[in-house]
Amino acid sequence: MIEFKDVGVRRDGRELFAGASFQLHPGHKVGLTGNNGTGKSTLFALLLTRMGTGDTEVTLDRGEVSIPDSWHVAHMAQEVGATTQTAIDYVLSGDEQWYEINATLNDLSSVSDEQIGVLHQQFDEIDGYRTPTKAAQIMAGLGFNTNQHELPVEGFSGGWRMRLNLAKTLMSRADLMLLDEPTNHLDLDAILWLETWINAFTGLVIVISHDQTFLDNTVGHILHVEQQKITLYTGNYQQFIRTRHERMAQQQQAFEKQEATKAHLDDFIRRFRAKASKAKQAQSRIKQLERMAELSPMMADNPFSFRFYEPANMSSPLIELTDADIGYSDTPLLYNANVQVTPDTRIGLLGMNGAGKSTLIKALVGELGVLKGSYNVSDTLKLGYFNQHQMDILDPKATPIEMLRRLAGNTSDAMLRSFLGSFDFRGDRIDTISELFSGGERARLTLALIVWQRPNVLVLDEPTNHLDLQMRQALTIALQGFEGAVVLVSHDRELIANVCDELFLVHDGIIEEFDGDISDYGKWLAEKRKQENSTDKNTSKKKSKKESKKFVSRETTDSQVNKQVSNNESQPVLSKDAQRKLAAEQRKLTAPIRRDIENTEKALADIDKKLTTLETKLADTEFYEESRKSDLMKLLNEQTALQQQHSQHEEKLLLAMTTLEEMEANIG
């Protein structure tokens, strides 16, 4: 077990822990919670230091930390470097013992006959013959398809590299597993799979996560860091909230604030009961909202207190897609889409990774034109659109108050500072340029700028990716009070359950109303995976045969290994002339798509230059004077148009590169 006895830790002159004492046992699943800056990452670093690993050394000021010497730790790091190593090989390297033995068995030049027998025995003892299958299963669970196994790690985007890093961590034969925000780059499908994996893991898991449903479904203990103390609670996150509520209720001031928050939530429950029309979804929503009332103690010390303004005017419908085919380069991904957004709309979009949720979102906000059918918006539409791209285009050299002032005109600084304070931008952070902000701070600032503009339709594509638990709870309450329409894509099930009145499923190119609640979606997904696994059995068998040259198979004996090596060396290869002809044929067949890729990359570079020029102009304060209002609007409209073009070209480039990869694979 792990035992802390009266542990005290100071970092950068600040005391993080004082008198921390607790025990964690093998098999425990523990959620590590606490506000940002309280020392969660330091606790991870301390455990890694005591086990002789990690990049940051943390020393004790007092006390004692005991960890069994024989234990092995696996830690999910937050960065993955670019490497030419293939994805499957990178994941397999997480099992260090298997990786070392397998590498030796595949290069027997310096190994004696006696050592070969020992290696095979060790390989059998660690069940090494099934390890590649385990790696493939983990990758499939995290959203990778088999065609991606042999691609280099450096070819994946940052988010997908993080998935590879998680897969590598899960491959480890660890006694202690430390997971820091493992769900940040996962969609709902992958999160549901990860929950199952963690519950089946036999070792000790400590996880930092801002996804309360994920914690509820995986952990049986909560280790909470607060006011230099570390307290171990028994139960999942929901039970932790109740226990903490009982403790906090002893403090009158905190109790009064909790009761005010609870009354606020009760009001939404009553309002929803009065207008709910769909029995199953309504009952699920009421249950979730009643649970939100139990979360009110968490709001007592919450630094976020914003709300959405009442929209100025609205008509119905605000956005309408009718019999629309939606896709890229004349290739539909979604067919006959019919979606109507009215002032009362509260839609949550569900669907597997790659099913087309983001494509539908882009069509709804006008970034992606329909290939067939119609798209219409109301003259009164005022859109609030949040996605990762909106965060990325924040002016890096501007402070929060400067960006807000560009929207607010003559509003007083006092009012602007008060508004930003409700998003926890206070003191020096109000006057700090945004390029120095964390992902969470950029997400909060983007939301603040959206809220200020008083939209009547909110389209939110994964708004919680960088938000901590308190901000997620504040956003949930604010969205409950929003009097306009909401269209939401999120892997945060609490947010979907508490905000959305109806669920739409995007699957197999169609969009249809989902008959059930968010928990029913998990059951639907499990059934789909079962069907797909059954269909893919033959494919997996064929693939395993191809991999037999790379990974040692159970049937391979010592003599067969030597024979295999010699046979591989003597296999005939193509002549240089034949290789040149094959390469020429490949270039000829793929030439059109390569030209498309080159032209699209040039177009993107040109748009980037124009956007940079525009951003330089927009940084000029003269454009924000009343006399230059028309010039400012012209620049902003031009910027919006260029951003839409940029997004369309990016999608086109991605589709073209995918097509090229498939063509090259088929030719090969």
SS (H, E, C) 606-661: HHHHHHHHHHHHHCCHHHHCHHHHHHHHHHHHHHHHHHHHHHHHHHHHHHHHHHHH
Give every CB contact of residue 49 below 8 A, 6+ residues apart in sequence: 56, 57, 58, 59
Residue written as token pair 């800056």: 37
Contact 360, 511 (CB under 8 A): yes
Whether 241 maps to a domain, the answer reads no
Residue with the larger pLDDT of the pair 615 and 157: 157
Predicted confidence at residue 541, as pLDDT, reads 46
| Residue 472 C-beta-side C-alpha neighbours within 13 Å | 24
pLDDT for residue 668 is more than 90: no
Banded model confidence at residue 566, pLDDT cuts 50, 70, 90: very low
Q: Taking residues 383-409, what's their average pLDDT? A: 89
Residue 529 CA to residue 526 CA, distance in Å, equals 5
- Both 345 and 467 in one domain: the answer is yes
Lowest mean pLDDT, pick from 156-160, 193-197, 577-581: 577-581
For the sheet with 2-11, list strands across it: 14-24, 2-11, 62-66
Could you tell me what percent of the chain has a pLDDT over 70?
77
Torsion of CA 360, 364, 367, 370, to 10 degrees: 70
When pLDDT is cut at 50, 70 and 90, the band that residue 47 belongs to is very high
Residues in the chain: 668
Residues 236 and 227: their CA atoms lie apart, in Å, by 21
Distance CA 149, CA 115 (A): 31
pLDDT confidence tier of residue 243, bands split at 50, 70 and 90: confident
Q: Are residues 582 and 616 in the same domain?
A: yes
DSSP-derived letter for residue 437 is S
DSSP conformation letters of 326-384: EEETTEEEEEEEEEEE-TT-EEEEE--TTSSHHHHHHHHTTSS-EEEEEEEE-TT--EE
Average pLDDT for 333-345: 93
Output the pLDDT for position 581. 59
Report which of residues 233 and 598 the model is more confident about: 233
Output the pLDDT for position 270.
Answer: 63
Q: What's the rounded Cα separation, in Å, for the pair 275 and 627?
A: 47
Residue 554 or 278, more confident: 278
Rounded average pLDDT over 387-408: 88
Is 432 inside a domain boundary? yes
pTM for this model (two decimals): 0.63
Domain boundary among 142, 168, 194: 168
The DSSP letter of residue 431 is G
How many domains does one find in the chain?
6
* pLDDT higher at 213 or 114: 213
Beta-sheet pairing, 370-377 with 457-461: unpaired
pLDDT band at 189 (very low <50, low <70, confident <90, very high): confident
Report pLDDT digits (tens) over 629-660: 677 667 766 776 776 677 677 667 766 776 77
φ/ψ (deg, to 5) at 240: -60, -40
> How far apart are the C-alpha atoms of 49 and 71, rounded to whole Å?
13
Looking at per-residue pLDDT, the higher value among 3 and 616 belongs to: 3
Q: Is the pLDDT of residue 4 over 60?
A: yes
Residues 537 and 512 in one domain: no
Please give the residue range of the domain that contains residue 477.
319-516
pLDDT, mean of residues 11-38: 88
Q: Poorest-confidence range of 183-192, 218-227, 285-294, 327-336?
A: 285-294
In the prediction, which pLDDT does 113 show? 72
Q: Which of 465, 453, 459, 502 is nearest to 479 (CA)?
A: 459
The reply to whether 341 and 289 lie within a common domain is no
User: Do the beta carbons of residue 317 and residue 341 sit within 8 Å?
Assistant: yes
| Spatial separation of the C-alpha atoms in residues 660 and 149, rounded to whole Å | 17
Residue 36 confidence (pLDDT): 74
Count of beta carbons in the 10 Å neighbourhood of residue 335:
17
pLDDT band at residue 339 under the 50/70/90 scheme:
very high
Residues 419 and 450 reside in one and the same domain? yes
Residues 192 and 139 in one domain: no
Flag whether pLDDT at 555 surpasses 50: no
Tell whether the model's pLDDT for residue 354 goes beyond 50.
yes
Helix (H) / strand (E) element for 268: namely helix 252-275
Give the model confidence (pLDDT) of 285-315 as tens digits: 565 555 554 544 445 556 777 788 888 888 8
Q: Tell whether 441 and 345 lie within a shared domain.
A: yes
In the block, which residue shows the tokens 């990716």?
465
Q: Is pLDDT of 422 > 60? A: yes
Contacts 24+ apart (CB under 8 A), 250-255: 254/297, 254/300, 254/301
The residue behind tokens 């914690």 is 215
Q: Which residues pair with 179 in a beta bridge?
A: 207
Within a domain: 325? yes
Q: Report residue 585's pLDDT band, with 50, 70 and 90 as the boundaries.
A: low
> If pLDDT is split at 50, 70 and 90, which confidence band does 583 have?
low
**Among candidate residues 119, 139, 168, the one where a domain is terminated:** 168
Which tokens is 344 given?
Answer: 């009362």
* 373 and 511 assigned to the same domain: yes
Judged by average pLDDT, the poorest of 131-145, 149-163, 178-192, 607-621 is: 607-621
Evaluate the omega torsion of the peptide bond into residue 317 and state whether it is cis, within 30 degrees of 0. yes
CA distance 490 to 532: 24
Place of tokens 């309450």: 477
Query: What pLDDT does residue 269 have?
Result: 59
pLDDT band at residue 666, thresholds of 50, 70 and 90? low
What is the spatial distance between Cα 345 and Cα 364, in angstroms, rounded to a whole number? 13
CATH of the domain at 49: 3.40.50.300
pLDDT 10s digits, 130-172: 888 899 999 999 989 888 999 998 888 878 888 999 999 999 9
Together in a domain, 160 and 263: no
pLDDT of residue 561: 37
Local confidence band at 67 (pLDDT 50, 70, 90 cut-offs): very high
**CA separation for the pair 153, 164 (Å, rounded):** 8
Please give the average per-residue pLDDT across 125-131, as a whole number: 85
Which of 195-204, 265-274, 526-535: highest mean pLDDT?
195-204
Summarize the confidence of residues 204-212 as an average pLDDT. Answer: 92
Statement: residue 544 has pLDDT above 50: no
Question: Ranked by mean pLDDT, which of 117-126, 231-240, 622-631 comes out on top?
Answer: 231-240
- Look up the CATH number of the domain holding residue 613: 1.10.287
The pLDDT-based confidence of 199 (bands split at 50, 70, 90) is very high
Within 13 Å and on the Cβ side, how many CA atoms surround 235? 10
Question: What are the pLDDT digits (tens) for 433-462?
Answer: 998 888 888 888 999 999 999 999 999 999
| Residues in contact with 458: Cβ distance below 8 Å, sequence separation at least 6, in sequence order | 308, 384, 386, 450, 479, 482, 484, 485, 486, 487, 488
Residue 148 lies in a domain: yes
**Gap between the Cα atoms of 505 and 283, Å rounded:** 20
Q: Has residue 465 been placed in a domain?
A: yes
Q: Cα-flanking dihedrals φ and ψ of residue 86, to 5°?
A: -70, 155
Predicted pLDDT of residue 549: 41
Name 654's bridge partners: none
Q: Cβ distance 28 to 205 under 8 Å?
A: yes
| Residue 245: CA count within 13 A, CB half-sphere | 20
Q: Is residue 556 part of a domain?
A: no
The C-alpha atoms of residue 309 and residue 455 are separated, in whole angstroms, by 8
Q: Is the pLDDT of residue 661 over 70?
A: no
Percent of the chain at pLDDT > 90 equals 33
Query: Do 68 and 93 share a domain, yes or no?
Result: no
Q: Please say whether the beta carbons of 121 and 197 come within 8 A.
A: no
Q: Is the pLDDT of residue 569 over 50?
A: no
Q: Mean pLDDT score of the chain, rounded to an integer?
A: 80
* CA distances in angstroms from 149 to 91, 357, 587, listed in the order given: 9, 25, 24
Residues 29 and 3 occupy one common structural domain: yes
Contact call for residues 380 and 392 (beta carbons, < 8 A) = no
Statement to judge: residues 385 and 429 lie in one domain: yes
Rounded CA-CA distance 153/81 in Å is 8
pLDDT at residue 374 greater than cutoff 90: yes
**Is 554's pLDDT higher than 60?**
no
CA distances from 391 to 130, 446, 463, 526 (A): 43, 6, 10, 33
Tell whether 178 is covered by a domain.
Answer: yes
The answer to the question of residue 86 being in a domain is yes
Say if residue 469's pLDDT is above 70.
yes
